[in-house]
């Protein structure tokens, strides 16, 4: 369609949309395969210190697999410059209030996640699954806690968002409508963890992160939400284990679960309501800003009375037209997005990635069931 609005970040220069889609499918498959391979390598490495083992595993996964490997794919297979890579990964400036709201949203996400995770854990246990987790050191170490925040909060907050809500989301959104893209990417993030205990709540969390990223048109708020969510979990683990702050937030939950379960449900409902309210505020603040920018553009533009449309001053910027929702005013009609329709062959490696992730997730359930 000649007048269709092209998504600016759909592809790199001189790379067809089909090639970009296939390269991202191959990258996703490589990531899916690399995750269990790195787990096996870390398991069989002759490292007795569990902290060092976690460090090696996390750095290999987060830095090498989720950051360096995608960067190399973008650079050499999609022929992108560094600037294009960051644009492709939605590293875009955003308003200060998006970053500020991301902090309380991250805290609320963690509280809601506790409830969703607890429900899922009870379902698994009713099926005979036994959940195991790595214990914290017997003696508290400030350095150990800082390292845990880096490995669990900072690295996943950046690296997982760089891959999942970066180039992969850009590609999926370039081929599917918004709601479909949210569902696909939510399921992808859940399976991406390849762990039966995490698959359910990470699907919901991943879909929410996609929604936020698409609405604010930047990955930075999602990075902050992800970091705050994970870091809040680490801090509460340490408070619970070593008795800081009277056991922290988790002790409040455990105590309420034993004595006042109805109060606990009410608390979760309040946090869920606050999360919805903050998200609503985030979306509306961004909509108001775009509306104000839209009015400014229209006010500084000319008007074609013959064709009843706005005539932009200077060179037409299709990306700006799309972001501000000015397509009807500029082109005379509300245009459909120019989405790429992938073939079965285009999706071959995506299907492979799903198969690998489903199998490894099922294996984690079988392993937990056996032990």
Averaged pLDDT, 204-217? 97
Res. 229: pLDDT tops 80: yes
85 Cβ contact list (under 8 Å, min separation 6)? 71, 74, 75, 167
Asked if the model's pLDDT at residue 23 lies above 90, the reply is yes
Question: What pLDDT score does 189 carry?
Answer: 97
Calpha distance 221→338 (Å, rounded): 27
How many other CB atoms sit within 10 Å of the CB of residue 13? 9
Average pLDDT over every residue of 226-252: 88
- What's the mean pLDDT in 21-37? 97
Write the CB contacts of 44 (distance below 8 Å, at least 6 apart in sequence).
none
Question: How many Å separate Cα 342 from the centre of its chain?
Answer: 23
| Cα–Cα distance for residue pair 130/75, rounded to 1 Å | 43
What is the structure's pLDDT at 79?
94
34-48, 83-97, 213-227, 341-355: range with lowest mean pLDDT: 34-48
Q: What are phi and psi of 64, to 5 degrees?
A: -75, -50
Residue 7 has pLDDT above 50, yes or no: no
In whole angstroms, what is the distance from residue 209 CA to residue 203 CA?
10
What letter would DSSP give residue 5?
Answer: B
On the CB side of 347, CA atoms within 13 Å amount to 10
pTM for this one?
A: 0.91
pLDDT digits (tens, 9 = 90+) for 145-164: 999 999 999 999 999 999 99
When pLDDT is cut at 50, 70 and 90, the band that residue 371 belongs to is low
Q: What is the mean pLDDT of the chain?
A: 88
How do residues 249-277 score in pLDDT, each as one tens digit? 778 787 777 788 888 888 899 999 999 99
Instruction: Supply the pLDDT for residue 145.
Output: 93
pLDDT band at 314 (very low <50, low <70, confident <90, very high): low
Token code pair at residue 223: 């990075």
303's enclosing H/E stretch is strand 302-304
Q: How far apart are the first and last CA of the chain?
A: 58
Q: How far apart are CA 47 and CA 310, in angstroms?
A: 66
Cα separation, 162 vs 151, in Å, equals 16
Most distant pair of Cα atoms in the chain: their distance: 78
Element (H, E) at 304: strand 302-304
Residues 85/72, Cβ–Cβ less than 8 Å: no
> What is the percent of the chain where pLDDT is above 70?
89
Residue 86 is predicted with a pLDDT of 96
Strand ranges (E), 240-297: none
Q: How many alpha carbons fall within 13 Å on the CB side of residue 13? A: 6
Helix (H, G, I), strand (E, B) or coil at 280: helix
Residue 22 CB coordination number (10 Å): 21
DSSP 309: E
- What mean pLDDT is predicted for residues 343-367? 95
- The pLDDT tens digits for 58-74 are 999 999 999 999 999 99
CA 291/CA 30 separation, integer angstroms = 41
pLDDT grade, residue 248 (50/70/90)?
confident
Reported as type and span, the H/E element at residue 310 is strand 309-311
Q: Would the pLDDT of 312 be above 50?
A: yes
pLDDT band at 230 (very low <50, low <70, confident <90, very high): very high
């Amino acid at each position: 369609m000649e007048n269709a609005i092209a998504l600016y970040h759909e592809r790199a220069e001189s790379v067809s949309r089909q090639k970009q889609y296939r390269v991202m499918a191959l990258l996703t498959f490589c990531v899916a395969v690399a995750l269990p391979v790195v787990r096996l390598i870390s398991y069989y490495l002759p490292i007795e210190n569990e902290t060092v083992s976690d460090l090696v595993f996390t750095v290999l996964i987060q830095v090498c697999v989720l950051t360096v490997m995608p960067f190399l794919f973008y650079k050499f297979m999609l022929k992108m410059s560094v600037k294009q890579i960051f644009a492709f990964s939605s590293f875009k400036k955003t308003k200060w209030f998006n970053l500020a709201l991301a902090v309380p949203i991250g805290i609320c996400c963690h509280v809601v996640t506790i409830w969703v995770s607890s429900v899922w854990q009870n379902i698994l246990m009713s099926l005979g699954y036994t959940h195991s987790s790595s214990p914290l050191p017997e003696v508290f170490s400030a350095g150990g806690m800082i390292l845990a925040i880096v490995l669990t909060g900072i690295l996943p907050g950046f690296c997982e968002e760089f891959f999942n809500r970066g180039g992969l989301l850009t590609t999926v959104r370039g081929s599917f409508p918004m709601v479909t893209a949210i569902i696909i990417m939510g399921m992808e993030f859940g399976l991406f963890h390849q762990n039966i205990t995490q698959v359910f709540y990470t699907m919901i969390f991943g879909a929410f992160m996609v929604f936020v990223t698409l609405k604010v048109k930047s990955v930075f708020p999602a990075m902050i939400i992800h970091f705050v969510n994970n870091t809040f979990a680490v801090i509460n683990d340490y408070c619970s284990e070593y008795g800081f702050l009277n056991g922290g937030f988790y002790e409040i939950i455990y105590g309420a679960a034993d004595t006042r379960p109805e109060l606990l449900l009410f608390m979760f409902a309040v946090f869920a309501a606050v999360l919805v309210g903050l998200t609503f505020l985030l979306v509306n603040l961004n909509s108001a800003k775009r509306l104000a920018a839209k009015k400014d553009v229209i006010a500084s533009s000319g008007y074609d009375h013959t064709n009843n449309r706005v005539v932009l001053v200077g060179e037409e910027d299709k990306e700006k037209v799309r972001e501000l929702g000015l397509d009807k005013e500029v082109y005379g009609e509300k245009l459909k997005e120019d989405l790429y329709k992938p073939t079965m062959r285009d999706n071959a490696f995506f299907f492979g990635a799903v198969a690998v992730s489903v199998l490894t997730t099922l294996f984690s359930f079988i392993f937990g069931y056996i032990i």
